[in-house]
Amino acid sequence: MAPDLSQNKAVKLVAHAAANKYAICATCVYNVEGILASVRAAEAKRAPLIIQLFPWAVQYADAILVHAARINWLAPAFGNVHGKYGPKGPQLDYERLKRVHAQVGDRVSLVLHGAGKEYFQEKLLRECIDCGVAKMNINDGFNDDYLEVMREHAASTPLTGLIEKSTNAMQKSIEQYIVWTGGEGMADKM
């Protein structure tokens, strides 16, 4: 028997995003700094946000499955990939994404995976939202900024200052994604 998800906050957030034509940023975090940056960004932008703890030991499929095979979210493949895109960049099939949304959008919200900041900025993110995406899993788009600050300042900055600088860089990136996905101010409308 499938669990009752009527009180599940994440399901409600994504449903609100789907109904209001924006996408929830779902940050894949690895540490407390990622959590802190995510919370700060969501508060600064008055945006709903889902924090996903990255599972080191478990391999997930490209869709989120719910107990008893009932799904609430689907991450279809339409040319998006995890990791680096080839020299041509993403070759996205928006018509395929629209067809998937037309078939399941009344029952399932679509999720975007493989949205690295190198290519997926406002224009591509908005195109995905226009095709029915209501949740975007963001990983290297903000974690890379954390690592860049760590590498750049590790030799010259005390640990506490380094953590704060890196966390601030992550927060700034998450805030940018919130703006790009149309989530800014949406927490006030829920």
Tens digits of per-residue pLDDT, 109-166?
999 988 888 888 999 999 999 999 999 998 888 889 999 999 999 999 999 999 999 9
DSSP letters, 74-127, are: E---SS--SS---TT-----HHHHHHHHHHHTTT-EEEE----TTT-SHHHHHH
Identify which of 124, 173, 132 has the alpha carbon closest to the alpha carbon of residue 22: 132
Give the residue with greater pLDDT, 190 vs 127. 127
At 117 the pLDDT is 84
Residue 98: count other Cβ atoms within 10 Å of its Cβ. Answer: 15
2-35 pLDDT tens trace: 677 778 888 999 999 999 999 999 988 877 788 8
* 101 has a pLDDT exceeding 50: yes
Homologous superfamily of domain range 21-189 = Aldolase class I (3.20.20.70)
At 49 the pLDDT is 93
Query: What's the pLDDT band for 66 if we cut at 50, 70, 90?
Result: very low
162-182 pLDDT tens trace: 999 999 999 999 999 999 999
At 54 the pLDDT is 57
Residue 127 contacts residue 182 (beta carbons within 8 Å)? no
Going from the C-alpha of 147 to that of each of 62, 126, 164, 168, 175, the distances in angstroms are: 25, 27, 12, 12, 17
Residues in the chain: 190
